[in-house]
A and B are shown apart, each in its own frame.
Chain A
Amino acid sequence: MGRLLNDIPRWIVIAVWIAGNIGMFVYTYFRYMGDEFYYLRLILGEGLPVARAGASCLNLNCMLILLPVCRNLTSFSRGSLKRCCNKTVLRQLDKQLTFHRYIAYMICLHTAIHLGAHVFNAERFLDSYSQPGILSALSLLPTTPDGTFINFIRTAATDPIREMCKTTAGVTGIIITLVLILMMSSSTETIRRSYFEVFWFTHHLFVVFFIGASIHGLGEIVRYQTNIDVHNPHVCKDKYTEWGKKADDGKVECPLPQFAGSPPQFWKWCIGPVVFYLMERGVRFYRSMQQVVILKVVKHPSNVFELQMRKKGFTMGPGQYIFIKCPTVSHFEWHPFTLTSAPDDDYFSVHIRQVGNWTNAVAKAVHVDSEEVEKNLKLPRISVDGPFGTATEDIFNYEVDVFIAAGIGVTPFASVLRHIWFKETKDASMELKKVYFYWICPDLNSFEWLHNLLREYDTKMAESGKTNFLSYFIYLTQGWDKNLAKNIVLHENEEFDPITGLQQKTHYGRPNWNKIFPAIAEAHPEKEIGVFFCGPKGLSKTLHKACNQHSKSGTKFYYNKESF
């Protein structure tokens, strides 16, 4: 039930958006069923209202798609809405990229509808020349020097592809659809995760998309009738041979129909978000000019290095993330990193793993690998944007916290644990009395830096005598081979774990939640326990079920998913 409640605002947002799309489509569809489009519909059939309805939905979605990527805007609105809205509503702002993706899917759908309908329209425009009767009569307009036309194809001896290349709408349409296809193909998960640069650069073709879409309608090809008051198409459509001719009584019953193009609409929809986006880029530019001092570069095992930085006026919460740009490496690329320092530190830090072009280049720029430690080594300029994401203060609402991290999901907890530790040492009245930290990981390579952090805790706790405050458990799910088994047996009676070098020994296999939760409940009867999880969806479900299942006999588990 709690899960459902957590998700309700999201479903409301999605439902409103889908309803908006349907409403827009239906409204535009029937608008183009009006009399001023009667003759155009005679030529084009259903293609006209369908194409226009698709276009108006495109306007709507192109307006929306820029908003979720304005991270400073969402961050700002989160800050200003903090007073009036509750947390589940605010949390929707963290799902901005999911919404961005949904909107993008909708844009693709409506592009397909719009494109398909216009293919039919172009073919039918040309085809109308060969149709006898009113269709060719309409296409042959204007028949007088001051008359207006309805069919943008001015001759029968042509083919639709050539005609399309002559118009602004055709050329820009091809270009922006191609741009959309490229953006789509390069933002699939494989490309996004593995070759971020490809994704990043092709995604910036959106500039071409927006410019192209703004001038797409300049040709004003969709033409409506301007004189339905004197020329009723329902009455006059069968008398097309007598259009503009005087009847016996000297009156003109049906004057020639006159047409005019509809001006482009796209820019009206998108000007607002584009301005927001430009402001966003302005903020990012301003931030990139602010000075960030690199205090320290720490090299950790497994190609991980830590950057400790300081910046004027930078405040953070635990579990937030920042974007980093290194102009000496690339002027355009901002990369997101979870903050690993606590708000109480006098610096902020990130841990960066050297895995790709960008991270390797940054490592080189900050001289991670140079052996000699020289004071006068020149460090590059670094720009920082952020912090973003909801900081969690929920952790302090419970007396007992259970943190569960899976794999890389551990990074926000580094900051959270530090923060808690600081608070614990300073603030004696803190409600939080006990923290359990579970970390499930396939292999422990590349996370040695976290062991260092935990080791620090070990010593600190031993010093202050608060050995009970934090219990951490590491689960290695990868299993173990004969060599490792020997190693484990050999070191069994030593104080430190052979793999992590920590006081608490590593466990192998997956944790058995159905044993762990009752045990925790037993240890803390009649208490409210907060469970915080960061990691994959499947485990989240299991944990949520376990929380509900074991919330009996006074002890209650409150499940918080993805709150970081």
Chain B
Amino acid sequence: MSQIEWAMWANEQAIVSSTVIALGGILGIAGMFKNWQFGIYAVIASVLIFILEWPRGKRKKGRTMERVLQRPLAVLVNHLGVFGRNYFIRFILYLILCVPCCFILATVMGGISLFVTSIIYFIAAMKGEEWLAVGLDAETVDKRRPQSLSLHPPKRPPPRTRERHENLGDRTVDVHDITIQEEIR
């Protein structure tokens, strides 16, 4: 457990919100009630949010668990530059996006959920957090450093003398020794 990074929670909240908005939008369209066109808006908005939020940002400390297939989307978000990076922009964006959701009953819940998302992003922005791509910079590091210089751990285990294990006088066969011998051969 490290210092709270609000953006991480905001990101999860945004994914959930986009699902809720999408479900609401589909319901709205299916119901064909008054102003059902907002349902179409909701579905499109939810897809946009989903694309923007699926790639998880890099954590300040520790390893970041990437989502399944997040790399291509991370490249996309990375290309957005400051619009992808800055959480204050996300806060404003979601604040605007959530307004039309509140016009029909079906998407109200998603709209409120998105509003909360934007508030959490506001806290994240105030704490000075920003979105950084995960895993993308690792490739550039590799390019900069030629392969021959990097210290890759050898594939084989280090050599061990045999006597050590024998003088233990154990009835047990030292199985690890066998393993090593096998691999050296």
Contact = CB atoms under 8 A, between A and B. Distances in A.
Given A181-B113, A198-B4, A186 B20 contact: no
The 10 closest A-B pairs by CB, nearest first: A356-B1, A479-B153, A519-B175, A185-B13, A185-B12, A123-B33, A160-B105, A185-B16, A512-B179, A508-B157
Nearest to A200: B1
B1 A355 contact: yes
7 contacts: A164-B105, A174-B109, A190-B65, A356-B1, A479-B154, A488-B158, A507-B157
A174 B116 CA distance: 13
B2 A523 contact: no
Contacts, number: 143
Contact of B56 (A190, A479, A481): A190
A378 interface: no
Interface hub of B62, B109, B154, B182 (most chain A Cβ within 10 A): B109
Contacts of B34: 123, 159
Contacts of A120: 27, 31
Contact of A182 (B56, B116, B154): B116
B95 interface: no
B9 A195 contact: yes
Nearest to A516: B175
B171 interface: yes
Contact of B9 (A186, A482, A509): A186
A397 to B, nearest CB: 21
B161 interface: yes
A505 B160 contact: yes
Contacts of A396: none
Interface in B72-123: 102-106, 108-109, 112-113, 116
A356 B3 CA distance: 7
A480 B154 contact: yes
A394 interface: no
Contacts of A485: 154, 158
Contacts of A155: none
A3 to B, nearest CB: 25
Contacts of A190: 8, 12, 56, 65
Nearest to B5: A195
Instruction: Bin the interface of chain B by size.
Output: 35 or more
Contacts of A188: 12
Contacts of A516: 175-176, 179
A520 B172 CA distance: 7
B136 interface: no
B126 interface: no
Interface in A475-501: 478-482, 485, 488-489, 492-493
A473 B179 CA distance: 13
Interface in B152-185: 152-154, 157-161, 164, 168, 170-173, 175-176, 178-179, 182
B9 A185 contact: yes
Secondary structure dominating the interface of A? helix
Contact of B2 (A191, A356, A508): A356
B138 interface: no
Contact of B1 (A196, A481, A507): A196
B155 to A, nearest CB: 8
A97 interface: no
Interface of B: 1-5, 8-9, 12-13, 15-17, 20, 23-24, 27-28, 31, 33-34, 56, 59, 62, 65, 102-106, 108-109, 112-113, 116, 151-154, 157-161, 164, 168, 170-173, 175-176, 178-179, 182
A358 interface: yes
Interface of A: 112, 115-116, 119-120, 122-123, 127, 159-161, 164, 174, 177-178, 181-182, 184-186, 188-191, 194-198, 355-359, 467-468, 471, 473, 478-482, 485, 488-489, 492-493, 505, 507-509, 511-512, 515-516, 519-520, 522-523
Contacts of A511: 176, 179
B183 to A, nearest CB: 8
B171 to A, nearest CB: 6
Contacts of B170: 468, 471
A488 B17 CA distance: 54
A249 to B, nearest CB: 44
Contacts of A198: 4, 9
B157 to A, nearest CB: 5
A115 B109 contact: yes
A355 B2 CA distance: 6
Given A188-B12, A195-B8, A481 B151 contact: yes
Contact of B4 (A195, A481, A488, A519): A195
Given A182-B13, A190-B65, A479-B154, A515 B179 contact: yes
Nearest to B36: A123
Nearest to A123: B33
Interface centre among A120, A181, A479, A480 (most CB of B within 10 A): A181
A357 to B, nearest CB: 7
A498 B13 CA distance: 48
A116 B179 contact: no
A357 B4 CA distance: 9
A493 to B, nearest CB: 7
Contacts of B178: 515, 519
Contacts of B2: 194-195, 355-357
A119 B106 contact: yes
B175 A515 contact: yes
B127 to A, nearest CB: 13
Contacts of B59: 194
Contacts of A505: 160, 164
A310 B113 CA distance: 47
A189 B152 CA distance: 32
A119 B28 CA distance: 9
B27 A493 contact: no
Contact of A519 (B3, B65, B109, B173): B173
Contacts of A523: 171-173
